[in-house]
Amino acid sequence: MTSAAALSAPVAAGPLPPATPLAVTAVGAVSAAGIGLEALGRAVAEGIAGHADPAGLSEESLPPRPVRVVPDLPVAELIGRKGTRHLDRTTKLALIACRLTLDTYPGRAGERSGVVLGTSTGSIRSSSEFSMETLRQERPYLVNPSLFPNTVMNCAAGQIAIRHGLHGVNATIAGGHLSGVQSLKYARNALRQGHADRILVGGVEEFCAQSAWGWHLSGALGVDVPVGEGAAMLMVEQEPTASDAGRPVLARILACETGYGPPGRLADALASVVTAALERCGRRPEEVGAVSYGATGLTGLERIEDRAVRAALGGRSPGRDVRVKESVGECFGADGVLQIAGLLGAWRYTAAPAGELALVTAVARDGNVGCAVLEAGALA
Partner 1 sequence: MSERGARRVVVTGLGAVSSAGIGADEFTASIRAGRRTTSPVRSFDPSGFPHVHAGEVHDFEPRRWLERIDPAHWGRSGQFAASAARLAVQDAGLAAEDLARTRAGSVMGTTSGESAVIEELVGAWAADGLKALPPDVVGSVPAGRIAAAVNSELGLTGEALTLATACSASNYALGYAFDMVADGDAEYMLAGGADSLNRWAHAGFYRLGALAEEVCRPFDADRSGILTAEGGVALLLEPYERAVARGARIYAEVLGYSVNCDAEHMVHPDPTSIAACIRAAHRSAGVEPSQIDYICAHGTGTRTNDATEVAAVREVFGDRLPPISSIKSMIGHTMGAASGFGALICCRALYDGFLPPTAGVERTDPDLGPGVDPIPGRARTARPRIVENHGFAFGGNNAITILGRVA
Partner 2 sequence: MASTASVLTAEQDGVLRAIVIEVLELEPEELTDTSSFIDDHDADSLLAIEILARIEKDLGVTIPQDDLTEMTNLDGVRAVVSRSLKEARDV
Do 228 and 21 contact (CB within 8 A), yes or no?
no
Residues between 267 and 326 that touch partner 1 (CB under 8 A)? 269
Beta-sheet pairing, 230-238 with 22-31:
antiparallel
Q: What is the DSSP string of 119-142?
A: ESSS-HHHHHHHHHHHHHSSSTT-
Binding of partner 2 by 134 (CB under 8 A): no
Binding of partner 1 by 197 (CB under 8 A): no
Binding of partner 1 by 207 (CB under 8 A): no
Strand partners, 170: 115
Mapping DSSP to helix (H, G, I), strand (E, B) and coil, where does residue 188 land? Answer: helix
Pairwise CA distance, residues 141 & 138, whole Å = 9
From residue 350, alpha-carbon distances to 8, 46, 105, 354, 380 in Å are 54, 10, 22, 12, 10
Provide the minimum distance between the beta carbon of 162 and partner 1 in the complex, in angstroms, as a whole number.
5
Binding at 82: pick from partner 1, partner 2, none (beta carbon under 5-8 Å per type): partner 2
Q: How many CB atoms lie within 10 A of CB 272?
A: 19
Provide the minimum distance between the beta carbon of 92 and partner 2 in the complex, in angstroms, as a whole number.
16
What 8-state DSSP symbol labels residue 81?
S
Residue closest to 37 by CA, chosen among 336, 332, 250, 348: 348
Stretch that binds partner 2, among 78-86, 101-109, 191-199, 200-208 (CB under 8 A): 78-86
Instruction: Decide: residue 379, CB within 10 A, 0-12 exposed, 13-18 middle, 19+ buried.
Output: buried
Provide the minimum distance between the beta carbon of 371 and partner 2 in the complex, in angstroms, as a whole number.
42
Binding of partner 2 by 144 (CB under 8 A): yes
Stretch that binds partner 2, among 141-149, 239-247, 316-324, 348-356 (CB under 8 A): 141-149
Binding of partner 1 by 9 (CB under 8 A): yes
Binding of partner 2 by 83 (CB under 8 A): yes
Q: Which of 63, 80, 106, 282 binds partner 1 (CB under 8 A)?
A: 63
Provide the minimum distance between the beta carbon of 209 and partner 1 in the complex, in angstroms, as a whole number.
6
Stretch that binds partner 1, among 32-40, 97-105, 294-302, 362-370 (CB under 8 A): 362-370
Binding of partner 2 by 131 (CB under 8 A): no
Binding of partner 1 by 182 (CB under 8 A): yes
Contacts (Cβ under 8 Å, ≥6 apart) of 18: 280, 281, 282
Rank residues 144 and 218 by Cβ distance to partner 2 and give the closer one.
144
Stretch that binds partner 1, among 179-187, 244-252, 288-296, 354-362 (CB under 8 A): 179-187
Binding at 122: pick from partner 1, partner 2, none (beta carbon under 5-8 Å per type): partner 1
Q: What is the DSSP string of 240-251?
A: HHHHHTT---SE
Q: Mark 24-63 with x for binding to partner 2 (rule: CB under 8 A) and - for no binding.
A: ----------------------------------------
Binding of partner 1 by 139 (CB under 8 A): yes
Q: Give the number of C-alpha atoms closer than 13 A to the C-alpha of residue 238, restricted to the C-beta side.
A: 15
H or E segment at 91?
helix 89-104
Q: Which of 2, 55, 82, 217 binds partner 2 (CB under 8 A)?
A: 82
Interhelix angle 179-193/335-349, rounded to 10 degrees, is 90
Rank residues 164 and 310 by Cβ distance to partner 1 and give the closer one.
164
- Binding site residues, partner 2, CB under 8 A: 82-83, 85, 137, 142-146, 149
